[in-house]
């Protein structure tokens, strides 16, 4: 894997997590974790239960204010170290850069992480509007951009062509994503009536309707059967291929991680223990020993390797 300098690496970063820590009273859930997610890549965060994965996500998406650390998100391309330092020193939550803009997510409330920094997320448990139709779920995701354009907006009040164009744009986008997830036929059915795998993909499509630069998925394959899991992989690979959206995912299903990730970060007890390509991580003795689990006799070999 090419070097991933947080600021100006060969592969432009979308997110640089820098010395992130999160404490809950005496418990250190995330302990001085740093990694970079590259633009246009799928980065997986893995680790055993309680390793701190969801806490990292909650810090990135503004649900938690980190106890320490910096979470820099880059729009348009990499920032220079000077630009990153200048925004950090300014005390502001964002600044313009030569390439576009950078946002310090730890300084933004969650709704601004979503609307300004354009970071979208899904949760471990599905959070669709189950009584709304499939199509309505995709339209409601775009409600913020439509209403903010509409507030005190004469175009909306008078139903002018510009307003109609915006509404048509929202419908076109919803229909595009309906096609992408193969649910056109079920557009008018309540979302809660869909099979579980379809609900998962609808949730991802709904997040994509907000045009995120970074899509954070918390265990998207949880509870899926192998066929549904394959459909999920296909959707995520198509997002990576066809859209300017980078993906950060937490996943326990190693088949998903190994098949679609470009880069894997491994946490254990809140600390990062490995960071590399799926191949590098898969063969890392620390990962084998601590996360994937080993047979007794293998453990002795691993221990020797780790100690070496």
Residues interacting with ligand ATP, by CB under 6 A? 24, 27, 29, 47, 49-55
H or E stretch covering 102? strand 101-104
Q: How far is the CB of 303 from ligand ATP (least distance, A)?
A: 24
Shortest distance in whole angstroms from residue 272 CB to ligand ATP: 12
In the structure encoding, which two tokens stand for residue 195, read together? 């099979």
Is 37 in contact with 6 (CB distance < 8 Å)? no
CA angle at residue 140 from 139 to 141, to 5 degrees? 90
Tell the smallest beta-carbon distance from residue 109 to ligand ATP (Å): 17
Compute the least distance from the CB of residue 167 to ligand ATP, in Å.
39
Question: Smallest distance, Å, CB 197 to ligand ATP?
Answer: 20
CB of 3 or CB of 125, closer to ligand ATP: 125
DSSP of 28-58, one letter per residue? Answer: EEEEEEEEEEETT-EEEEE-STTSSHHHHHH
Judged by beta carbon, residue 64 or residue 74, the one nearer ligand ATP is 64
CA distance 136 to 32: 41
Count Cβ neighbours within 10 Å for each residue of 58-91 and write b for 16 or more, e otherwise: bbbbbebebbebbbbbbbeebbeeebbeebbeee
Minimum gap (Å) between residue 306 Cβ and ligand ATP = 22
What residues does 37 pair with on adjacent strands? 15
Q: Which DSSP string corresponds to 79-97?
A: PPHHHHHHHHHHT-SEEE-
Tokens of 45: 């965060």
């Amino acid at each position: 894997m090419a070097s991933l300098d947080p600021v100006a690496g060969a592969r432009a970063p979308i997110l640089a997590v820098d010395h992130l820590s999160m404490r809950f009273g005496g418990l250190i859930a995330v302990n001085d974790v740093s990694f970079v997610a590259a633009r246009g890549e799928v980065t997986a965060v893995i680790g055993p239960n309680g390793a701190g994965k969801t806490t990292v996500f909650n810090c990135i998406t503004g649900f938690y204010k980190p106890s320490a650390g910096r979470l820099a998100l880059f729009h348009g391309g990499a920032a220079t170290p000077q630009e990153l330092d200048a925004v950090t020193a300014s005390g502001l939550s964002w600044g313009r850069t030569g390439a576009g803009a950078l946002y310090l997510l730890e300084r933004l409330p969650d709704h601004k992480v979503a609307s300004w920094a354009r970071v979208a997320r899904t949760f471990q448990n599905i959070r669709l509007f189950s009584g709304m139709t499939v199509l309505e779920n995709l339209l409601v995701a775009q409600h913020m951009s439509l209403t903010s354009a509409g507030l005190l907006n004469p175009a909306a009040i008078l139903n002018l062509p510009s307003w109609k164009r915006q509404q048509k744009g929202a419908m076109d986008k919803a229909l595009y994503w309906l096609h992408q997830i193969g649910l056109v036929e079920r557009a008018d059915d309540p979302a809660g009536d869909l099979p579980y795998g379809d609900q998962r993909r609808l949730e991802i499509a709904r997040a994509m309707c907000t045009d995120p630069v970074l899509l954070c998925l918390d265990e998207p394959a949880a509870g899926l059967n192998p066929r549904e899991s394959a459909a999920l992989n296909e959707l995520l690979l198509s997002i990576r291929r066809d859209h300017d959206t980078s993906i950060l995912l937490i996943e326990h299903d190693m088949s998903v991680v190994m098949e679609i990730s470009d880069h894997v970060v491994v946490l254990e007890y809140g600390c990062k223990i490995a960071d590399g390509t799926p191949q590098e991580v898969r063969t890392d003795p620390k990962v084998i020993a601590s996360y994937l689990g080993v047979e007794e006799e293998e453990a002795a070999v691993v221990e020797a390797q780790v100690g070496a």
